[in-house]
Amino acid sequence: MADLVSHPDEVRVVSKRFGEGATDIDRYLALDGYKATQKALTMGADAIINEVKASNLRGRGGAGFPAGMKWSFVPKQSPKPKYVLCNGDESEPGTCKDRLIFEHDPHSVIEGVIIAGIAVDSHQGYIYLRGEYRYLIEIMEKAVADAYARGFLGKNIFGSGYDFECAVQTGAGAYEVGEESALMESLEGKRGIPRIRPPFPAVVGLYGGPTVINNAETLANVPHIILGGGEWYASLGTPKNGGTRLFCLSGSVNKPGVYELPMGYNLRKMIEVAGGIWNGRKLKAVQPGGSSVPVLTADETDIPMDFDALMKAGSMLGSGAVVIIDDSTCMVKYALRVMKFYQHESCGWCIPCREGTDWLKKTLIRFHSGGGVRRDIDNIQYLAENMLGRTFCPFGDAAAMPTISLVKKFRQEFEDHLEGKPCPYEDHGKIEHLPVLTAWDHRTADPWAQAH
Amino acid sequence: MQFSDQLEKRFAELQTHYPIKRSALVPMLLYAQDEVGHVSDEVVHEIAARLDLTDLEVRNVVSYYSMLHTKPIGKYNIQVCTNISCMLRGAEKVFDHIRQRLGIGHKQDTPDGLFHLEEVECIGACCWAPAMQVNYTYHENLTTEKVDEVLESLRKKETQ
Ligand SMILES: Cc1cc2nc3c(=O)[nH]c(=O)nc-3n(C[C@H](O)[C@H](O)[C@H](O)COP(=O)(O)O)c2cc1C
Ligand code: FES
């Protein structure tokens, strides 16, 4: 069980019931549970979509796509059944917020799924959780069973004449399955390999039917929007960035934790919310949206945390993971750890991603060990840039973007590792020193050299 | 091949969830592994038969998911996250410590078959870093002392 934190600046919407015992369905009902679903059943599809559009709710999974607009893309008539998927794969490094929602407020997710279902006239929902979240699968399965027992799921929910079925699905370890089309493949019993788009899931998704897929936090916000109104929700955030967000403040801070703060909350203040930088050290950099977004240097952190402001600053709000990095961190090593992750998780379907992550990892290992030459720095940049936009799914970009930004913004640190220089941050002798490659070795080991 | 009644019930329940049988594949593999210890050839064959798939189709899926393993491993699977949030808070030290304590490395088992060690990617415990999972149980805000306690209590459990 993960510890909860609190701070006076928090605005609690999705986290309202955290620590309140809301896994128990009666307790949940006492805390306004299932009122939103009943209201939604009387509102009808168009009114629900309009309310969600008015709320400026944007996807909490990473891309920040407006939820109401996504729902409106689902065709009204469809010969095939339509589906609602809750994405609870939560595997973006730095991200640990959906976990708290499932743990403390499972019924809010179920309500979100039902309401999205009503909005697009779907009668089947799936809640997909990563396999490592076994204790949460148990919590969610119990919540679903309780909802069935009360007639909140199944045939004729709340006596409304509307049928809605919902099931919980487990993954078995794969970051890529969090990507929407790969998740559908996984749910169809296959390897989690992405699908080419278009067609988009809203038109052709799970089992070939129109499908809405949203992140768990996105869906958990929906009942609150239905009850409180879109306008109220929008007013909590900044223009076009409605509401609050569960920010996962982690890394080199005194009080890491998941804090619910309004959209647009200043990043510097956020670091203070998390107790400031630990061990009397100084801030060096922040990855403001999980491991897949460009880093910000300490000087760039005086910005409001919403999708548009971060885009303008050359980064992304991503998954709500804010990884705070202090000045004792070697950024070459950081880049290497990030790339190790992407190399490990690449599904291998697209060549630029599979080969690119592998070469980048190898180059960074050599580099961090002091075996790099000056040209490697540009080579890293070159390889990463050539992955951008050249893959079936955004995984390739996710691996490339942080790498490009790390080389660009911390080039000096890369230079400090050149040609046998020991890493200035490591306990010496700890890393295996790889030899600096000779020109000839380089030619065979280096795709850049071969291409030129 | 025989699974427990409980697991059979779970498999039957799974089939009520989807329009196609095959959708149960990933959960079936994981739940079967939890019971059998690993995804053995027998498990592959049995699940393939039940879902009207070939063994090869099932193997193809098994090899994709990092939690599934086709060989037996130690009883307690120690999975230490060393990804960014954990790394920034000393995960490597924790991992090295466990390595020394158990005398094994990444993806190795202790000779008594008790422990398996793995360096894993983010397990969703970033705000309680460094973190590890022993089988499905989370251990968070780790220190070397805390790790020793965990290992000790698991050993004790075995000798009792
Ligand atoms: C490689 C990759 C991994 C992803 N992992 C997740 C994830 O774990 N959880 C999630 O909600 N979205 C993840 N996404 C985003 C989904 O593809 C999708 O955009 C999201 O679930 C849509 O929901 P939203 O609009 O509510 O954000 C991932 C995307 C990519 C490219
Ligand atoms: S980075 Fe270790 S749990 Fe997320």
pLDDT tens for each residue of B102-158: 999 999 999 999 999 999 999 999 999 999 999 999 999 999 999 999 999 999 998
Q: Please tell me the least confidently modeled range out of A68-72, A83-87, A363-367, B109-113.
A: A363-367
Q: Is residue A6 part of a domain?
A: yes
User: What would the mean pLDDT of A60-81 be, rounded to a whole number?
Assistant: 97
Dihedral sign, CA of A135, A217, B21, B46? negative
Q: What is the CATH number of the domain that holds A141?
A: 3.40.50.11540
Of B27, B60, B127, the CB nearest to A96: B127
Q: Is residue A303 part of a domain?
A: no
Residue (of A286, A339, A290, A297) closest to A318 by Cα position:
A290
- Residue-wise pLDDT tens digits, A169-221: 999 999 999 999 999 999 999 999 999 999 999 999 999 999 999 999 999 99
pLDDT-based confidence at A449, cuts 50/70/90? very low
At B57, the amino acid letter reads: E
The answer to whether residues A24 and A159 belong to one domain is yes
At A399, the amino acid letter reads: A
Q: What is the DSSP letter of A144?
A: H
The pair of three-digit structure tokens given for residue A222, joined into one six-digit string: 């929906």
User: What would the mean pLDDT of A354-361 be, rounded to a whole number?
Assistant: 96
The reply to whether B1 touches chain A by the CB within 8 Å rule is no
The answer to whether residues A224 and A343 belong to one domain is no
pLDDT at A440: 47
pLDDT at B158: 87
| A322 touches A268 (CB < 8 A) | no
Last residue of a domain, one of A197, A217, A235: A235
Residue B105 vs residues A363, B71, B80, B115: alpha-carbon distances, Å: 24, 17, 12, 11
pLDDT at A22: 98
| A253 touches A277 (CB < 8 A) | yes
The answer to whether residues A209 and A346 belong to one domain is no
Q: Distance (Å) from the C-alpha of residue A348 to the closest C-alpha of chain B?
A: 10
The answer to whether residues A223 and A366 belong to one domain is no
% of chain B with per-residue pLDDT over 70:
100
* C-alpha gyration radius of chain B: 18
Enclosing domain of residue A180: 2-235
Is the pLDDT score of A432 beyond 90?
no
Strand partners, A132: none
CA of A180 to the centre of ligand 1 (A): 6
Is the pLDDT score of A451 beyond 90?
no
The reply to whether A167 touches chain B by the CB within 8 Å rule is yes
pLDDT at A452: 39
Q: Distance (Å) from the C-alpha of residue A396 to the closest C-alpha of chain B?
A: 18
Q: Is residue A342 part of a domain?
A: yes
Is the pLDDT score of A80 beyond 60?
yes
- Residue-wise pLDDT tens digits, B65-81: 999 999 999 999 999 99
Q: What is the CATH number of the domain that holds A350?
A: 1.20.1440.230
pLDDT at A372: 86
The answer to whether residues A122 and A7 belong to one domain is yes
pLDDT-based confidence at A393, cuts 50/70/90? very high
Is the pLDDT score of A279 beyond 60?
yes
Say if the Cβ atoms of A173 and B24 lie within 8 Å. no
Is the pLDDT score of A1 beyond 70?
no
The answer to whether residues A214 and A363 belong to one domain is no
The answer to whether residues A222 and A335 belong to one domain is no
% of chain A with per-residue pLDDT over 90:
89
Q: Is residue A278 part of a domain?
A: no
* Strand pairing category for A257-262 and B108-109: unpaired
* Strand pairing category for A296-297 and A283-287: antiparallel
Mean pLDDT for chain B?
A: 97
User: What would the mean pLDDT of B10-38 be, rounded to a whole number?
Assistant: 97
Domains observed in chain B: 5-64 (1.10.10), 76-159 (3.40.30.10)
The answer to whether residues A231 and A380 belong to one domain is no
* Calpha distance B122→A401 (Å, rounded): 19
Cβ-count burial of A192 within 10 angstroms (0-12 exposed, 13-18 middle, 19+ buried)? buried
Per-position b or e across B74-84, b if 16+ CB within 10 A of its CB: bbbbbbbbbbb
Is the pLDDT score of A439 beyond 50?
no
The answer to whether residues A106 and A228 belong to one domain is yes
The answer to whether residues A97 and A206 belong to one domain is yes
pLDDT at A370: 83
- Residue-wise pLDDT tens digits, A14-35: 999 999 999 999 999 999 999 9
User: What would the mean pLDDT of A424-439 be, rounded to a whole number?
Assistant: 61
Last residue of a domain, one of A235, A257, A276: A235
pLDDT at A421: 80
Q: Is residue A434 part of a domain?
A: no
Q: Using CA atoms in the order A370, A376, A378, A382, what is the torsion angle rounded to 10 degrees?
A: -130
Strand partners, B77: B116
Mean pLDDT for chain A?
A: 94
ipTM entry: 0.97
- B86 CB under 6 A from ligand 2? yes
The answer to whether residues A224 and A364 belong to one domain is no
CA of B132 to the centre of ligand 2 (A): 9
Q: Is residue A452 part of a domain?
A: no
Q: Is residue A131 part of a domain?
A: yes
Q: Which one of B80, B94, B123, B141 would you pick to mutate in the ligand 2 pocket, going by the greatest count of ligand atoms within 8 A of its CB?
A: B123
- Count structural domains, chain A: 2
Q: Is residue A255 part of a domain?
A: no
The answer to whether residues A195 and A342 belong to one domain is no
